[in-house]
Amino acid sequence: MKAVLLACVILFSASSAQAQPMGPSPEAGFAGTWRIIDARPAPWIKPHALSREEVPLLEFALAFRDGEVMGPSPIACGHAGYKSMPVTVQELFSGGVPEGKEDETAHALGLSASGTTVLRVDCETGTFHFALKDGSLLFVLDNIVYTMERAKLDTGPGYSGPSFDCAKARTAGEKLICFDEDLSKFDREMAAAYTRLSKTETPESFATVQAAQRAWLAFTTKFCDANGESPDNSCLNESYQDRSGRLNAIEVVEAGTLRLEPRMRFFSRVKPRVQESDSYPWMTGGPKAAAFNTYIARKLELDKRRMDDKKLFPSGNDLPENMLLALRRTYSVSRFDSRIASLLVWTYDFTGGAHEALNEFSLNWDVERGKPIGFDDIFAKGKKWEQFVIDYCVRDLEDQFNEESGPDRSAVARVVGNIGNWLFDRDKAIVHFTVYTVASFSGGEFDVEIPYEELKPYMRPDAPVL
């Protein structure tokens, strides 16, 4: 007999709760947001693989709040009233449990055959039952048993699952991604960024993103044992969070017909176990792009893999076999227009030391002339621009340090004298002080912004950055 059921929730409780009067607020144990993380056929119907149509609520979140239930239909409602009450197994299912099947049903669902306690919610759409079971919530709707977990993230009601259909999840790794709220979020964000790039990049550039993403997924699946019986949760979380952040940080930037498009590479190696992620800029949209791309390919050595650099992996390193080393390179755009492209490239590598090593450098390109920008292109000969900039930076850094003793002047001079530490915006120059240059690792990095109005007495009138 098929029973058409309203939502019912089952609770294990050490002591039976007393019935409470109907009120506008849920009890503290129920208030807040919950994620629907699992769905299975009710025990009194034939077991079968569920289709998405049978489990429309899977991976959605709902919230019990004062006077309302927020979430998917038909559970969502306004003017909600709440109360706790004891019920029998038969009452839970509105009499829908086949006669003589009460004990069997209670056992299959982890219930006490004598009954349990529920939170009753009265809505304009109907009456629903909810309760706790071992920290989770179970409810039944239309012969489907749903499981809910309290949400960790304050994202509110709505879809909270990954980018794929959890009703079709088969491997332990896929099921873990559906179950874990953080993994679901990272997967969802990663898929959205991937889709965005597929729509905004040229086919040639997106092909590199696609190839890198497939290589990353294959490596991560194997390294985190995602297809095994016990996937490594922390490994997947760390990998998915890093990848999601990388994909979300890159975007296409336009300047007239010219475009800077992110391209990607991903490499891996077994001994030592290394993964290398690389995002680099590529110009498209006209004849001026070729010179820039040649410069980028040479400057970033795109014909090589960084994992083959002996300076990064000196011989003789005694590293554990299961240690994962990681090389990451990406970039950001400070300015891109018809005159210049000013980019910051940084690497963030873990090669077995005490912590990751950070390295940053800028790339400044004269779009009109098709060449890198140097100090001679910006400052007039004979002008003591360097002394002015050093003094300016020392004063600014003293204010940022908020200490009596400022940075070492010779260290500031070394940074100022390297064009690789300069970025150029539309109205100001930025001198970038990376970690360790004027402060300790814990001190971080500092930027000193110098308006062009301050620099103009020392600049060439035809400086490309103006």
Terminal C-alpha separation, the chain = 80
**What tens digit of pLDDT does each residue of 331-385 get?**
999 999 999 999 999 999 998 877 788 899 999 999 999 999 999 999 999 889 9
Sheet with 422-424, edge to edge strand ranges: 422-424, 428-433, 446-451
Per-residue pLDDT, averaged over 145-174, amounts to: 89
Checking if the pLDDT of 203 tops 80, the result is yes
Per-residue pLDDT, averaged over 430-441, amounts to: 85
What pLDDT, on the 0 to 100 scale, is given for residue 441?
A: 61
Contact 132, 149 (CB under 8 A): no
Give 5's pLDDT tier (boundaries 50, 70, 90).
very low
Distances (CA, A) of 346 to 52, 157, 331, 438, 439: 43, 38, 6, 18, 18
Contact 70, 156 (CB under 8 A): yes
What pLDDT, on the 0 to 100 scale, is given for residue 379?
A: 97
List phi, psi (to 5°) of 221: -60, -45
Q: Which amino acid is at 217?
A: L
The percent of residues above 90 in pLDDT, for the chain, comes to 60
What pLDDT, on the 0 to 100 scale, is given for residue 314?
A: 64
What residue segments make up the domains of the chain, in order of their start? 32-160, 178-372, 377-458
Q: CA-to-CA distance for 111 and 131, rounded, in angstroms?
A: 12
Which SS3 state, helix, strand or coil, does residue 223 take?
A: helix
What pLDDT, on the 0 to 100 scale, is given for residue 124?
A: 82
DSSP result, 44-78: TS---PPPGGG-TTTTEEEEEETTEEESSTTT-EE
**What tens digit of pLDDT does each residue of 20-62 get?**
578 888 888 888 899 999 998 988 889 999 998 999 999 999 9
Give 103's pLDDT tier (boundaries 50, 70, 90).
confident
Contact 419, 366 (CB under 8 A): no
342/111: higher pLDDT: 342
Checking if the pLDDT of 81 tops 70, the result is yes
| Ramachandran category for residue 401: left, alpha or beta (phi over 0 → left; psi -120 to 50 → alpha) | alpha
CATH of domain 178-372: 3.30.565.40
Q: Do the domains 377-458 and 178-372 match in fold?
A: no
Q: Which amino acid is at 253?
A: V
* Pairing assessment for the beta strands 136-141 and 116-123 based on DSSP bridges: unpaired
What pLDDT, on the 0 to 100 scale, is given for residue 9?
A: 47
Give just the sign of the alpha carbon dihedral 407, 408, 409, 413. negative
442-445, long-range: CB < 8 A, 24+ apart: 445/360
Give 91's pLDDT tier (boundaries 50, 70, 90).
confident
Q: Extract the runs of DSSP E, i.e. beta strands, from 27-175.
A: 32-41, 60-65, 68-70, 77-78, 81-87, 116-123, 126-130, 132-133, 136-141, 144-150, 158-159
| Spatial CB neighbours of 82, under 8 Å, sequence gap ≥ 6 | 22, 23, 24, 25, 26, 27, 30, 64, 119, 120, 121
DSSP result, 383-440: --HHHHHHHHHHHHHHHHHTSSS---HHHHHHHHT-GGGEEE-SSEEEEEE-TTTSS-
Per-residue pLDDT, averaged over 269-293, amounts to: 94
What pLDDT, on the 0 to 100 scale, is given for residue 438?
A: 82
Give 435's pLDDT tier (boundaries 50, 70, 90).
confident
Quickly tell me which residue has 């769905």 as its tokens: 39
Give 19's pLDDT tier (boundaries 50, 70, 90).
very low
Work out the mean pLDDT of the chain and round it to a whole number: 88
Per-residue pLDDT, averaged over 92-110, amounts to: 74
CATH of domain 377-458: 3.90.640.20
Of the ranges 26-35, 172-181, 318-327, 434-443, which is most confident? 172-181
85/242: higher pLDDT: 242
